[in-house]
Amino acid sequence: MLGAAVSVFLSTFENKVDRKGRVSVPSSFRNVLSQQRSTGIILYPSFKHPCIEGSGDERIHEIVSSIDAIDVFSDEAENLQTILADAKQISVDSDGRVILPHEFVLHAGISDLASFVGLGKSFQIWSPKNFSIHRQRNRLRAREQGATLRIISSSTEGT
């Protein structure tokens, strides 16, 4: 275990998917999950991208309360409810591995490698090939939209 314990999902890890569909959850992600007292991980297909969205069950509670907070019959509420309907709770075995549900694997185009991508409070699981395309596109856009960097540097200013 890494001495440093930042409690957010960080960095990208590429792990192998074996013949039985098992794949190791990166150990630093497992640490974040255990800090959240998550019994397992929650997975659901992304509707924006060909990837799997993942988080501890903390995140699901947030989504549930968001739904409560908005109009029950609004489109937004329905979108969020779709997430819940599609989500699955997956248990992590004693060696730190999970089995990715078959439908999700198809949705993400994953075969024998899976990229776990840390996004702070949540993470994504991609096929490495799709992820590198996505990443490249994001980098280009981030460069065009200089605003991003401004936000960061202004919040550092305090210190």
Interface ranges with a second copy (CB under 8 A): 2-6, 8-12, 28, 36, 39-40, 47-48, 57-68, 73, 75-76, 78-91, 117-121, 135, 138-139, 141-143, 145, 147-148, 151-152, 155-156, 159
We find the least distance from the C-beta atom of residue 11 to a second copy, in angstroms, to be 5
C-beta of residue 128 within 8 angstroms of C-beta of residue 51: no
First to last CA, the chain: 29
Cβ-based nearer residue to DNA, 80 or 88? 88
Using rule CB under 7 A, residue 16 touches DNA: yes
> Which candidate, 43, 52, 26, 28, places its Cα nearest to that of 130?
52
Cβ-based nearer residue to a second copy, 19 or 71? 71
Per CB under 7 A, the segment of 19-27, 68-76, 117-125, 128-136 that binds DNA is: 19-27
- Residue 111's binding partner, choosing from DNA, a second copy, none, with beta-carbon cut-off 5 to 8 A by kind? none
Cβ-based nearer residue to a second copy, 16 or 141? 141
Interaction residues for DNA, span 25-64 (CB under 7 A): 25-27, 30-31
Residue partners of 12: CB distance under 8 A and separation at least 6: 115, 116, 117, 118, 131
- Residue 50's binding partner, choosing from DNA, a second copy, none, with beta-carbon cut-off 5 to 8 A by kind? none
Residues 84 and 86: their CA atoms lie apart, in Å, by 5
C-beta of residue 56 within 8 angstroms of C-beta of residue 36: yes
Residues 129 and 135: their CA atoms lie apart, in Å, by 10
